[in-house]
Structure 1
C-alpha cells in the first residue's frame, strides 16, 4: 500500500466509524496483523525445520549407501550432526536411568 492509499483508507474509516471508534478499530486491526505475522513466522520456522530434517535424513541414506566411507564433506557433516544429536539423547536417557529410585515407605 502506498502513502496515498493509506490516507484514503484512514479518511474513509474516519467518515464511516467516526473519531470515537476509529482508534479502537486501528488497534484491533493491528493486533490481527501481528497475530497473522506471528502465525506465519511459526509456520515458516516449522517448515524450515522439517526441510532440514528431511535433508539430514536423505544425506544419511546417501552415507549408508556409500558404506560410511569416503563421504563428501556435506554428508560427513550431516552424519556428525546426527551422531551428536543421538549422543545427547542417549546421555539424557542414561542420566534418568542412573538416578536412584525414590523410596516410598
Structure 2
C-alpha cells in the first residue's frame, strides 16, 4: 500500500490543505507524527497476528483475519466445506436453471411481440393532379 493511487494534483492539494491546517512551521512535525503512528499500527497488527498464530499453531496473515477467510482456511477442512456447500449447491443449480428458462421465455415472447406489432409499411401517397399555373401580369396587379 503506497502512493500509487494518488495523482500529482491530488498530492499537491493534500500538501496545501496540510499547510492551511497546520501552518508551514508545524507541518513537518505533523507528517512525522502521522508516519510514526502508522508504523506503530502496523507493528501492533503484526504482533496480533503473530500471537494468534502461536495460539492456533498455524500461520496466519493479516488478510486471514476476515471471519469468512479465517473459518475456511483454519477451522474447516475441505471435506467440511464441501459438506456445507452440497445442499446449497443443489438449490443454486435449480434456481439458475429456472432463471435461464425464464430468460429464454421472455426473449421468445419479446421477439414474438415484435413480429406481431411490427407496423405495416406506410402506403405510398399518390400525387395530386397538377393544375395549370396561372400567369399574372402587371396589368392584373395594377
Instruction: From the two aligned structures, give the one with the greater helix fraction.
Output: 1
Bigger RCO of structures 1 and 2 (CA < 8 A, at least 6 apart): 1
Larger radius of gyration between Structure 1 and Structure 2: 2
User: TM (normalized to structure 2)?
Assistant: 0.34
User: TM (normalized to structure 1)?
Assistant: 0.44
